[in-house]
A and B are shown apart, each in its own frame.
Chain A
Amino acid sequence: MLAIDTVGLRKEFGEKVAVADLTLKVQQGEIFGFLGPNGAGKTTSVKMLLGLTRPTSGRATLLDHPLGDRLSRAKMGFLPEHFRFQEWLRADEFLDLHGRLYGMSQQARAAAIPDLLELVGLGKRAATKLGAFSKGMLQRIGLAQALLNSPRLVFLDEPTSGLDPVGRRLVRDIIHGLREEGTTVFLNSHLLGEVELTCDRVAFIREGVVVETLDLHDTHTEQVHVTLRVGQPTPELLVALEQFGREVAMDDGRGRVSLTLPDESHLPGLAHWLTHNGHTLYELTPRTLSLEDRFMQIIGDHSGDT
């Protein structure tokens, strides 16, 4: 079953098109990253999925219910990017309030709240008012409220932006725990390292359009960056290497040549061609592109200003 299924979601603010075409399919139980530069339409997309903003056109279902349906919202959790909450409430009161908004019974709330406070490392802060919380603690209590109803789909908008390395590790572990329980996580983050460590798939959005979706576990079909060191590299060699890949270039003064192969299956052919054409091969180092490399390839110079 699809946790999120959108077709051509579009949002216009007057003449400005914030999201031109959001077409996504997110499987139940996967950790899905949503990436793009500032101003690409990520926030508006997430707001449309959460029912905070009405799409101008297009259609979508979340957990098999139409967009904005209360039945789907009952099974969803959301940690907002701007994790500002009622600072005059105590941590346990805050979670109790959100439990009531989820329609949870008093017994269910009483059982879930202490466990969640422990889970996010705030077990001893139950009676502390949120006004006395640090930024990281607010983000953790926000995460706890997003998990109160044992959701099947969780939206996490920049969930580690206010956290120290220990807090980031904690959030990563919680996300992995959610995956084991079969919960779908929709992760919107600028921290590509975190996304790479956490997500199963990612989608890239540029200028309001989903331009590419990647499976981060599928290394066989990933592009491979290769560094070669051969005896006497010539300009003719560089031209000949273009039959294998793109971005062929010679490193200045080191005799090394770099190029990008479509995937790792081209590696043996490249090595064979070099040795059979009289090139002495001293080094062939493949390196899978990092998510940041992929991000730069896909998004390129389209980073926005906002």
Chain B
Amino acid sequence: MNIVLTIAQLTIRESQRRRILWIGLFMGLAFLTVFGLGFHYIILEFERFPDAHIPVREIALALQIAGLYVVYFLTVMLGILIAVAALSGEIDSHIIESIVTKPIRRAEIILGKWLGFAVIIALYTLLLAGGTSLIVYLRSGFVTPNLGYGLLIIFWQGVIAMTLTIIGGTRLSTLANGGLAFMLYGIGFIGGWVEQIGALFRNETAVDLGILSSLIMPVDVLWRHIIMLLTPASMLDSGFDGPVIFVVVSRPSEAMLLYAVFYVFALLLGAVWSFTTRDF
């Protein structure tokens, strides 16, 4: 366990020294500033017309989910970008040779890097998604239900992307690995839309295709879970399946949440196996 923690610390320190953490923090604050100003002025506009048919809490929810959508996207991008060169870069540069010849297990290297990246993604999710929710609460008094659960799922989306990138890095070059991770994200994303539109037109083939793509890359399906979780039950009961542009037509199965957990651990096991059995 000591070696796993040593590698995790090294991974976090590298992100810090290479200014990845600081740029993430700075740009995260810039994102929150833009979101906060936008949210303030939109709410201000609605407050000027108290007789409007749309309640403020619906607007607050729509804007919060829009903000979290961007956070989810950025978290997935972060998960891919921080991990893309973590192994392949060290293999290409031969840095890895002086590490794996030490009296440690190769699995400890994988687990240490995974843990270090997971901590970075957690901090990033907390800053952006937590900050977004805090802004919404401070300005409108609105708090979405299941907020902690929702943030956890956003964090897990980043972890999925990161773990997928780690397993690719055990065998692929940095460029090929990055390309693969982004393309898989694209498949999951477009598959989600195909499923939604298929459900709208009751086309089972399209729905099945969407489910299949979610099995390959379960990030978009988790996003739909987040929408369902954050939308108050009273709004769902009134036939509201998400705010305006984020309406959920095909409600995701609860089993997908379990699948997403197993998906990560299966990938992690695969990464350990792939890294342990490869030659340098």
Residues of chain A whose beta carbon lies under 8 Å from any beta carbon of chain B: 47, 50-54, 70-71, 73-74, 76, 78, 80-82, 84-86, 88-89, 97-98, 100-103, 142, 145
Tell whether, in the assembled complex, residue B6 and residue A100 are in contact, meaning their CB atoms are under 8 Å apart. Answer: yes
B93 at the interface (CB under 8 A from A): yes
Please pick, from B3, B17, B103, B280, the residue contacting A52 in the complex, using a CB distance under 8 A: B280
Tell whether, in the assembled complex, residue A82 and residue B14 are in contact, meaning their CB atoms are under 8 Å apart. Answer: no
Q: Which residues of A contact B99 (CB under 8 A)?
A: 101
Q: Bound state CA distance, A86 and B95, in angstroms?
A: 7
Tell whether, in the assembled complex, residue A84 and residue B6 are in contact, meaning their CB atoms are under 8 Å apart. Answer: no
Show 13 A/B contacts (Cβ-Cβ < 8 Å), sorted by A: A51-B100, A52-B97, A52-B279, A73-B101, A74-B103, A80-B94, A82-B93, A86-B10, A86-B14, A98-B98, A100-B3, A102-B102, A145-B98
B18 at the interface (CB under 8 A from A): yes
Q: Which residues of B contact A100 (CB under 8 A)?
A: 2-3, 6
Q: Bound state CA distance, A149 and B32, in angstroms?
A: 49
B261 at the interface (CB under 8 A from A): no
Known: A47-B280, A52-B280. A88 touches B93 (CB 8 A): no
Q: Bound state CA distance, A81 and B280, in angstroms?
A: 13
Kindly provide the distance from the CB of B11 to the nearest chain A CB, expressed in whole angstroms. Answer: 11
Q: Which residues of A contact B277 (CB under 8 A)?
A: 54
Q: Bound state CA distance, A43 and B105, in angstroms?
A: 22
Residues of chain B whose beta carbon lies under 8 Å from any beta carbon of chain A: 2-3, 6, 10, 14, 17-18, 93-95, 97-105, 277, 279-280
Kindly provide the distance from the CB of A43 to the nearest chain B CB, expressed in whole angstroms. Answer: 11
Q: Bound state CA distance, A101 and B101, in angstroms?
A: 10
Further 13 A-B residue pairs, CB within 8 A, beyond A52-B280, A88-B14: A50-B101, A51-B100, A52-B101, A52-B279, A53-B279, A78-B98, A78-B101, A80-B98, A81-B94, A82-B97, A86-B10, A89-B17, A101-B6
Tell whether, in the assembled complex, residue B103 and residue A103 are in contact, meaning their CB atoms are under 8 Å apart. Answer: yes
Taking CB as reference atom, which chain A residue is nearest B5? A100
Kindly provide the distance from the CB of A53 to the nearest chain B CB, expressed in whole angstroms. Answer: 4
Taking CB as reference atom, which chain B residue is nearest A157? B97
Tell whether, in the assembled complex, residue A85 and residue B279 are in contact, meaning their CB atoms are under 8 Å apart. Answer: no
Q: Give the dominant DSSP class at B's interface.
A: helix
The 9 closest A-B pairs by CB, nearest first: A82-B94, A74-B103, A101-B102, A88-B17, A53-B279, A73-B103, A52-B280, A70-B103, A84-B93
Q: Bound state CA distance, A82 and B91, in angstroms?
A: 11
Taking CB as reference atom, which chain A residue is nearest B15? A88
Q: Which residues of A contact B279 (CB under 8 A)?
A: 47, 52-54
Q: Which residues of B contact A71 (CB under 8 A)?
A: 103
Q: Bound state CA distance, A128 and B263, in angstroms?
A: 42
Q: Bound state CA distance, A50 and B95, in angstroms?
A: 15
Q: Bound state CA distance, A85 and B97, in angstroms?
A: 10
Q: Bound state CA distance, A97 and B7, in angstroms?
A: 9
Q: Bound state CA distance, A142 and B97, in angstroms?
A: 12
Q: Bound state CA distance, A145 and B10, in angstroms?
A: 17
Kindly provide the distance from the CB of A108 to the nearest chain B CB, expressed in whole angstroms. Answer: 14
Tell whether, in the assembled complex, residue B18 and residue A53 are in contact, meaning their CB atoms are under 8 Å apart. Answer: no
Known: A52-B280, A86-B14. A76 touches B101 (CB 8 A): yes
Q: Bound state CA distance, A217 and B126, in angstroms?
A: 67
Kindly provide the distance from the CB of B6 to the nearest chain A CB, expressed in whole angstroms. Answer: 5
Kindly provide the distance from the CB of B4 to the nearest chain A CB, expressed in whole angstroms. Answer: 12
Q: Bound state CA distance, A163 and B101, in angstroms?
A: 24
Q: Which residues of B contact A73 (CB under 8 A)?
A: 101-103
Q: Which residues of A contact B105 (CB under 8 A)?
A: 70
Residue in B6, B95, B97, B98 whose Cβ sees the most chain A Cβ within 10 Å: B98
Q: Bound state CA distance, A97 and B5, in angstroms?
A: 12
Kindly provide the distance from the CB of A242 to the nearest chain B CB, expressed in whole angstroms. Answer: 49
Tell whether, in the assembled complex, residue B98 and residue A85 are in contact, meaning their CB atoms are under 8 Å apart. Answer: yes
Kindly provide the distance from the CB of A249 to the nearest chain B CB, expressed in whole angstroms. Answer: 46
Q: Which residues of A contact B2 (CB under 8 A)?
A: 100, 103
Q: Which residues of A contact B101 (CB under 8 A)?
A: 50-52, 73, 76, 78
Kindly provide the distance from the CB of B88 to the nearest chain A CB, expressed in whole angstroms. Answer: 14
Q: Bound state CA distance, A52 and B101, in angstroms?
A: 7
Q: Which residues of A contact B18 (CB under 8 A)?
A: 88
Kindly provide the distance from the CB of A142 to the nearest chain B CB, expressed in whole angstroms. Answer: 7
Q: Which residues of A contact B14 (CB under 8 A)?
A: 86, 88
Kindly provide the distance from the CB of B97 to the nearest chain A CB, expressed in whole angstroms. Answer: 5
Q: Bound state CA distance, A147 and B256, in angstroms?
A: 51
Q: Bound state CA distance, A102 and B17, in angstroms?
A: 24
Taking CB as reference atom, which chain B residue is nearest A82? B94
Q: Bound state CA distance, A76 and B104, in angstroms?
A: 12
Kindly provide the distance from the CB of A222 to the nearest chain B CB, expressed in whole angstroms. Answer: 35
Kindly provide the distance from the CB of A54 to the nearest chain B CB, expressed in whole angstroms. Answer: 6
